[in-house]
Amino acid sequence: MAKLRELEDLASPVVDTWWAAERREARRKGLEEGRREGRQEGEARGQRLGQRATLVRQARRKFGSETAEGLAALLEGATDLEGVAEVADLIIDCGSGRDFLAQAAGALA
């Protein structure tokens, strides 16, 4: 029994050191993954904001400020990327701001 305790006493610091190293490595990997995911989310958000700013600018140039402000409000809550892409086509296809906003609202619904 004494030999068993002696072996446990010898092994305990080794096990503690190993566990500490495992925890540090797991924490490092978790932080790294979190940073990578955060960077990807930030890039995607930046692209969406840039695309929306471009659409509002183009709508302002073609239809005027009132239509551009209406579009900005529509895009505020838009999550459907296909709908946003359709709005880009509508800027070219529509002849009036009123028609554009009506169709854009449908595309983003």
Mean pLDDT by 10-residue block, N- to C-terminus, for the chain (109 residues)? 71 79 89 90 87 95 97 90 93 97 95
Q: What's this model's pTM, rounded to 2 decimal places?
A: 0.68
Neighbouring C-beta atoms of residue 59, cutoff 10 Å: 29
Q: What contacts 96, CB < 8 A, 6 or more positions away?
A: 63
Provide the token pair at 6: 């002696």
Side chain identity at 104, as an amino acid letter? A
Secondary element (H or E) of residue 83: helix 81-93
